[in-house]
Structure 1
Amino acid sequence: MSHSTPRASRRNFLKGAGCLTIGFVLLGAGSLAAETPKGPELPGSLQDNPRINAWLEVLADGRVRVLTGKIEIGQGIRTAVAQIAAEELDMPLERVEVVLAETGRTPDERYTAGSASIEQSAMSVRYAAAAARQKLLVLAAAQFKAMPSQLELRNGGVRTTDGRQLSFAQLLDGQQLQDEVRLPIRLKPKADYRYVGRPILRNDVERMVRAEEYYVQDLRFPGMVHARILRPPTYEAKLESFDTKALKKAVPGVLQVVVDGSFVGLLAEREYDAKLAQDFGRLHARWSGGRALPAGQPLAEHLRQLPAIDKRTTDKGNFNETDAAPTLRANYFKPYLMHGSIGPSCAVALLENNALHVWTHSQGVYPLRDSLAKLLKMSPENVHVKGVPGSGCYGHNGADDVAADAALLARAVPGRHVRVQWSREDEHAWEPYGSAMLFDLEARIDPKTGRITHWKHELWSDTHSSRPGGSPEKLLAAQYLAQPLLPKPEDDISGGIYRNSEPYYDFPAVRVDTHYVQGPLRVSALRSLGAFGNVFALESFMEELAVKAGQDSYEFRLRHLKDERAKAVIRKVRDMVQQEKLAPREGLGVAFARYKNQAAYCAVVAKVVVAPEADGSTIRVAKIWSAIDAGEVINPDGLKNQTEGGLIQAASWTLNEEVHFNAHQVTTRQWEQYPIFRFDEVPQVEVAVLDRPTEPPLGAGEAAQGPTGAAIANAVFHACGKRIRQLPIRPEKLLA
């Protein structure tokens, strides 16, 4: 598509923020809800933003606009919240519009993370819409001189039994519901659902497939300036010299060069000229040496030797060191992993009339606003951040950093939009990675009962979240300014490190020791945080114990579980592969976890084919099955899609992915050095959803990652008899 024609306007991105809101006082909250049963506790997002109009507005044409502080990152939040609002308000789905994260416009829900979009944002919309339903009935009852119980909501209005009807817009007369949402609230009976629980198609997917304007990378504004950032060759290197006059002579299209300490921004009218300027700078700028990286020893050994903050994060049961020796000991390792976003990070910023506007695919528009305000020494009220979907996310990638780049450069050309696009090399070399992790496990099995009696899990890991969160020093650019802002090390262990380290199984004695270290590379949140590594180690070890005890893989796990829902997903996935036939050098492996030990239940079986060593010893994942229980399902297709994507992504992590570095810099700077699954490597996937409509919805977007890695490792063992405990599981490790 042509880049010469403006394809978006600031007006289109800023419109729709002028609704008048007033409070209604016809009846107090107690009177409104006097006949309703007491429900569960309100979602945390709703407690933080308790008024109806924080979540939905009635438009003049009778449509309803839903506001969510979450951003669309592939989880289908736009479709899910539309389904929920349409359901509670008994109106056509196509009459519901959804506005995603935008400061000053939508609720402050912090980050779109932790598989909490449905649990928090969508459920907040459910209660707000239900409260709106109650209020609309009360208002209509006053108009019709009838009892609320004699009225019904239908097609965007309130109707009497004799056919009289008022639309929502007529009832509100241009105003909005500002009542506070309080329990108890009568939710729509599930038996009457028309939308929730149905596989409603996502309209945004067609736009992606057709390569229409959808992502932040697609934004174009009239008179927009393009920019690239000249990064140092390695961490903490300082700019010593850069001949900007030679640059402008070599690339006449350069509009401006911004140099602030070791932060270098290159602005041009054309994107191609900005890229040429970056290439020139990489060849001619001179930098100091920077920080050396520990390339002389295996990373797992390095992690174990680093100074650590130690914490016993689980300690239950009786550990008597004079008891019998452990039945088995093993250690496991997960390397640094990239987010591997298909589209490198991008942002647009505009400084105009002392106000900063930023378009970003950050997962937290409000925390980013606060960080940028401090970085630029502006009032947060003068910083407006609008979330726009990005091409790939999977956690805290470069989105916040590139937004800071754009904000800093916008000061150089006030009144003009500045678009900063990272290159593939920028993304691979400078994004914050998922932390490397090391695990030591040991367990004791009672020889009489065949059950595990003692379990120890010791792990070493860097942090799993360095999101800005209002701290500008965590933004990459801030660390390279003439007056740098440098991040301080954490003084405590975050829960993301030991997420899912405590077994969900029923073991009499469990001990988990966590060691927080500062590794050599920049790290932050990657999908599932520490759960991927912890579950890989835990479930690989469970399989090794089952084999050592001579027990069936499924029954061994079932014998150690009390939760019937956990047992159900394991039994379901076992049934799914019951008829699967295995040829020589093929194996099936199973794994299970409940994400965060409180969200969705997920069991996974992988089928792996290992070619004989004489044939080059290749490893191929032929198929993956999964059974998932996420409580009440809003959109079955959405849940399946999330799980399927998680299975494939985790399979790629398990077999292919690893960040490499030498003593000077990260060396995996292109796809050739960091291969993710190609289409011909993607396995077949089959997902069974155990819908439990009477249970609360559970976060599911990150549930499949950990079990998938362990299931593949277990399948490789059953295919060829070799246990690989260090990821990725590459063919050469089978030969070692």
Structure 2
Amino acid sequence: MKQFDDIKSGRREFLRSSGYLLMGFTLMPGLGFSTEPDECYSPEQILIADREAVDSWIRIDEQGILTVLTGKMELGQGIRTALMQMAAKELDIDIKQVRIIIADTGQTQDERYTAGSGSIEGSGNAIRNAAAEARKYLLILAAKELKSNVAELSVNNGIVKSAKNQKTVAYKDLVKGKRLEAEVTGKSELKKPADYKLVGKPIKRTDINDIAAAKTHFIQDLRLPDMVHARVMRPPVYSARLVSFPTDEIQKLPGVLKVVVNGNFAAVIASQEFESIKALEKMKQLAKWDSKPITPLPGQLYADMIKNGSAGEIVEGDKSADKKLSENTITLEAEYKRPYQMHGSIGPSCAIGLWKDDQLTIWSHTQGVFPLRSTVSDLVNLPLEKIRVIGVPGAGCYGHNGADDVGGDAALLALQMPGKPVRVQWMREDEHKWEPYGSAMVLNIKAAISEGKVTSWQTDIWSDTHSSRPGGKAGHLIAGRHLEKPFAFEGGGFSGGSHRNSLPLYDFETKNVALHNYKGPLRTSALRSLGAYGNIFALESFMDELAAKAGKDPVRFRLDHLKDARAKEVITTLVTKAGWDSNKKAGLGKGFAFAQYKNNASYFAVKAEVQLDRATRTYRLVKLTGVIDSGQAINPDGIINQTSGGMIQAASWTMLEQVNYGANGVESNSWETYPILRFEDVPDTEVFVVDRPELKPLGAGEAAQGPVSAAIANAIFDATGSRLREIPLTPDKIDWSKIS
């Protein structure tokens, strides 16, 4: 395995001498997996240190296969297909001749986290420019080969043709197994929209076929030769201390290879998975803990947030707005609440660690392979060059779930079993109780209206951190905090994630946002869309309340406060596609909401339709219709899938989900105690894409969350007359006496 330092020294000499061939062997001979370049399990480590080099992002081998490299992780959002489309489009290569390698510290560039809906904008832009640079470089080579001018050349499926003499040459024959001696300058001419053949087309994702066919795809599916199985026993509550544990008794259980105890970190390694589970159950029965109760309890949480949150700092908008919004001018004020919510990944977190030949390899579904590598380096005191993290998709997650933590577990336990892959699989209870949750939030909004127009707006937010991802310090991993010599958790950042999307996009005379930081009782970090979900829920619910107070139609009211032409078009397109009449129907309610994610990414408008059941005093969400403008649509089918899935996930959060806990720990430890939307309750969804091929692509994966929550609340009000301001919007919060 080549070391990073070897590659950094004399990069040009390395490129010239090595030639280019994606090796067909693996780090694990005999796995039985395909040796296609996009198989991310165990290819040769061939990282190019220079991120400005074209071959850091794309490569063409001597068979004519185009390999795309991205440091971003495939989370189910479809970036594998979209990024391949972008590269193939610039190079005029058949998509069937394209492969991709994702998120591998041994092969891809450090692109930090796959987060913030930034993969297409960030990695996609780099890959697109690298492909354009490669095309320019290859055409220069072809012009010499064909004795033509570049202007006389055309390309079709990787074959360059001269209009002058009709001669042809293939990319593969120009490359001849060598790497591309070109740099990404960002100045090469990109294809014009009129010339697109792949971008903008609904290319099908090949990984869907693999998943449907139950092929090895997820980290939870991965099996390696001679692999052993581990389970980690977690404390009953965050602050618990292990005071008694019968190591010898567990060691004697069938199949147990090793029991590891280090402070409050206790684990068992066994030959078979079932043996490790049986041993874990025995460990839980016999272990004795000293625990401290969790405070504050749920009944006092929101009040405690307001009481003990920081004094507040204006983080966005007009800092003088609060002076203009005096008590005498306030027209409306309301308070909204969001509980702790979990990722609830369908597949509990999993990782495999291997300590062999003085190298530590971790297979992980982390959203940041490089940050995890640096954090593990701190955890196990190994230099970075001795650690490799290989990204493998996980079964469900947008945000920071338990993937990094279980990667840390695997690193610690792999060092205890040299030469054997150690698979650490969390149980459902582990995932539910120990993943970092989306933070609870309290949002207070007040505004003034004059002659039907909002003149002043002020938002106050109380929130815990939305960002405690690992970035180099072992204290960000659960295992790091539980060791006999624990690593300190230095706290998450109270960054823009807390107030994301809190500043209205609407044209108000004055507006500001104040953030009150709060350290709560439960562990929190990034959950899909971060604070935008709670902020847009409050903002768009409040806009509906203001429209009602002004006696205006809620859609018209928003349009009257918008200058952004793209925002207006998304809204008017929704009205055209989904309808928006003023006629009320008994038992039915419709709600509307709109936002531009982060105020600089995708525009999204949604209509929610609910139906009441008076007999059972429940309601059903029957349909969600959305319109999204993500700029240039790389793969419209991917955008529709992402948006539809986002709407359904947001509906589940909004209608059902909250983490319940008591003094003795988290009580939401199963699907029975943390219900999510079931298949029979999933609403119909319809998504329309406003394609703008002349504009840059925008992040689309997190656009739907906030607007959907508010649209459902607004639909409930339309049907019942009840304003529900606290998530989840459960039927018991509706005043059924108001319904005729």
- The TM-score bracket by the shorter chain reads over 0.9
Partner in structure 2 of residue 30 of structure 1: none
> TM-score, with normalisation over the residues of structure 2?
0.92
Q: Which moved more, 1:565-574 or 1:183-192?
A: 183-192
Which whole-Å CA distance do the structure 2 matches of 1:96 and 1:296 have between them? 52
> Is 1:241 aligned with 2:258?
no
The answer to whether the 8 A contact 1:21-1:177 is kept is no
Q: CA deviation at 1:331?
A: 0.1
Quote the residue 2:680 is aligned against: 680
Correspondence for 2:416 = 412
Q: In the TM superposition, what whole-angstrom CA distance separates every residue of 1:355-401 from its partner, at most 9, and x where no partner exists?
A: 10000000000111111111111110110110000000110000000
**Match runs of 1:22-41 below 5 Å:** none
Q: CA deviation at 1:425?
A: 0.2
Instruction: Quickly say closer, same or farther: Cα 1:359–1:18, change in 2 above 3 A.
Output: closer
- Matched position secondary structure for 1:542: helix
Who is 2:16 aligned against?
none
8 A Cα contact 1:158 1:168, kept in partner: yes
The corresponding residue for 2:406 is 402
State how far apart, in whole Å, the 2-side matches of 1:666 and 1:339 are: 15
2:485 paired with 1:483: yes
SS at match of 1:625: strand
Q: Which residue of 1 aligns with 2:703?
A: 703
Distance in 2, Cα, partners of 1:443 & 1:486: 42
In the TM superposition, what are the counterparts of 1:85-124 in structure 2 within 5 Å?
85-124=87-126
Cα distance in 2, alignment partners of residues 672 and 150 from structure 1: 67
SS at match of 1:314: strand
SS of residue matched to 2:346: coil
Matches of 1:556 and 1:312, distance apart in 2: 27
Letter in 2 for 1:105: Q
CA–CA distance in 2 between the matches of 1:14 and 1:458? 46
Q: Deviations over 1:446-484 (max 9, x none)?
A: 0xx310001010010001010001221101110000100
Q: Partner amino acid for 1:458?
A: D
Which residue matches 2:366?
Answer: 362
User: 2:170 is matched with which residue?
Assistant: 167
Correspondence 1:227 to 2:227: no
Where 1:191 maps in the other structure, the secondary structure is: helix
Contact 2:505 2:599 in 1 (8 A): yes
- In the TM superposition, residue 152 of structure 1 has moved relative to its aligned partner by 2.0
Q: Provide the secondary structure at the position in 2 that maps to 1:565.
A: helix
**CA distance in structure 2 between the aligned counterparts of 1:661 and 1:14, rounded to whole angstroms:** 38
Query: Do the aligned residues in 2 keep the contact of 1:8 with 1:219 (CA within 8 Å)?
Result: no
Do structure 1's residue 204 and structure 2's residue 207 form an aligned pair? yes
Cα-to-partner distance string for 1:259-283 (whole Å, 9 max, x where unaligned): 1111011100100011111111111
Give per-residue Cα distances to partners, 1:196-222, cap 9 Å, x unaligned.
Answer: 101001111111122221100001011
Distance 1:591 1:409 in 2: 48
Q: Could you say which residue in structure 2 is the equivalent of 1:513? A: 514
Alpha-carbon distance, 1:685 to partner: 0.3
Q: 2:47–2:107: 8 Å Cα contact kept in structure 1?
A: no
C-alpha contact (below 8 Å) 2:468/2:491 kept by paired residues? no
Alignment match of 1:58 (pick from 60, 65, 69): 60
Aligned mates of 1:627, 1:20 — CA distance in 2? 41
Deviation at 1:164, TM superposition (A): 2.1
Secondary structure class of the residue paired with 2:80: helix
Aligned match of 2:438: 434
- Which region of structure 1 is more displaced relative to structure 2, 269-278 or 297-306? 297-306
2:350 and 2:425 in contact (8 A); partners too? yes
Matched, 1:539 2:540: yes
Deviation at 1:146, TM superposition (A): 2.1
Cα deviation, 1:203-245, whole Å, max 9, x if unaligned, reads 1111112222110000101110100000110002111111122
Asked if residue 714 in structure 1 is aligned to residue 706 in structure 2, the reply is no
In the superposition, relative to structure 1, how do residues 13 and 601 fare at CA in structure 2: closer, same or farther (>3 Å)? closer
User: For residues 572 and 225 of structure 1, do their structure 2 counterparts lie closer, same or farther at Cα, with a shift above 3 Å needed?
Assistant: same
User: Alpha-carbon deviation of 1:143?
Assistant: 2.4
Match of 1:45 in 2: none
2:612 is the alignment partner of 1:610: yes
Query: Offset at 1:659?
Result: 0.2
Tell me whether 290-299 or 588-597 shows the greater mean CA deviation: 290-299
Deviation sequence 1:286-337 (CA, Å, 0-9, x none): 0111353321733211211224263211232653355733110100000000
Q: How does 1:319-338 map to 2 (within 5 A)?
A: 319-320=323-324, 324-338=328-342
Q: Specify every segment of 5 or more residues in structure 2 that has no aligned partner in the other structure, as ranges.
A: 1-29
SS at match of 2:662: coil
Q: What is the alpha-carbon distance in structure 2 between the residues aligned to residue 562 and residue 275 of structure 1? A: 59
Give the conservation status (yes or no) of the 8 Å contact 2:61–2:175: no
> 2:429–2:669: 8 Å Cα contact kept in structure 1?
yes
Instruction: Give the secondary structure class of the aligned counterpart of 1:308.
Output: coil
SS in 1 for 2:131: helix
Q: Alpha-carbon deviation of 1:167?
A: 2.0
Partner residue of 1:128? 130
Instruction: Return 571-580 or 67-76, whichever deviates more.
Output: 571-580
Structure 1 counterpart of 2:519, one-letter code: Q
Q: Distance in 1 between matches of 2:212 and 2:279?
A: 32
SS of aligned partner of 1:487: coil
| Equivalent position of 2:216 in the other structure | 213
Q: Give the Cα–Cα distance (whole angstroms) in 1 for the partners of residues 48 and 731 of structure 2.
A: 63
Give distance in 1, aligned partners of 2:613 and 2:32: 51
Pairwise CA distance, 1:75: 1.0
Provide the residue aligned with 1:77 in structure 2: 79
CA spacing shift, 1:663–1:735, aligned 2, 3 Å: farther
Q: Is the 8 A contact 2:298 2:660 kept in 1?
A: no
Partner of 2:592: 590
Q: Look up the equivalent residue of 1:282 and give its one-letter code.
A: K
Structure 1 residues 532, 282: closer, same or farther in 2, change over 3 A? Answer: same
Tell me how many residue pairs correspond in the alignment. Answer: 701
Identity level (%): 48
Cα shift at 1:15? 5.5
Q: 1:619 to 1:7 in 2, by over 3 A?
A: farther
Which residue of 265, 268, 272 corresponds with 1:266? 268
Q: Output the CA distance in 2 between the equivalents of 1:269 and 1:623.
A: 49
Instruction: Answer yes or no: is the 8 Å Cα contact 1:333–1:438 preserved in 2.
Output: yes
RMSD: 1.9
Query: Do the aligned partners of 1:199 and 1:637 also contact (CA within 8 Å) in 2?
Result: yes
CA distance in structure 2 between the aligned counterparts of 1:326 and 1:21, rounded to whole angstroms: 59
Instruction: Name the aligned partner's letter for residue 644 of structure 1.
Output: S
How big is the shift at 1:583? Answer: 3.6
Paired amino acid for 1:566: A
Structure 1 unmatched runs, 5+: 23-47
User: Are residues 345 and 9 of structure 1, via their aligned partners in 2, closer, same or farther at CA, if it must alter by over 3 Å?
Assistant: farther
Does the CA-based 8 Å contact 2:597-2:603 persist in structure 1? yes
Tell me if the contact between 2:629 and 2:689 (Cα under 8 Å) persists in the aligned partners.
Answer: yes
- Work out which of the residue numbers 133, 136, 139 in structure 2 matches 1:137: 139
CA contact (8 A) 2:463 2:518 kept: yes
| Structure-2 change in CA distance of 1:309 and 1:93 (3 Å) | farther
Return the letter of the residue paired with 1:561. L
Contact 2:219 2:393 in 1 (8 A): yes
Residue 256 (structure 1) aligns with: 258
Deviates more, 1:226-235 or 1:155-164: 155-164
2: distance between equivalents of 1:459 and 1:619?
30
Q: Equivalents in 2 of 1:595, 1:292: separation in Å?
A: 35
Structure 1 residue 385 and structure 2 residue 389: aligned?
yes
Change in 2 beyond 3 A, CA 1:95/1:424: same
CA distance in 2, matches of 1:137, 1:434: 50
- Distance in 2 (alpha carbons) for counterparts of 1:222 and 1:284: 33
Relative distance call for 1:275 and 1:237 in structure 2 (3 A) is same
Letter in 1 for 2:87: A
Q: Equivalents in 2 of 1:337, 1:350: separation in Å?
A: 33
> Aligned residue for 2:550?
549
SS of match in other structure, 1:298: helix
Q: Do the aligned partners of 1:605 and 1:625 also contact (CA within 8 Å) in 2?
A: yes
Structure 1 residue matching 2:299: 3-state secondary structure:
coil
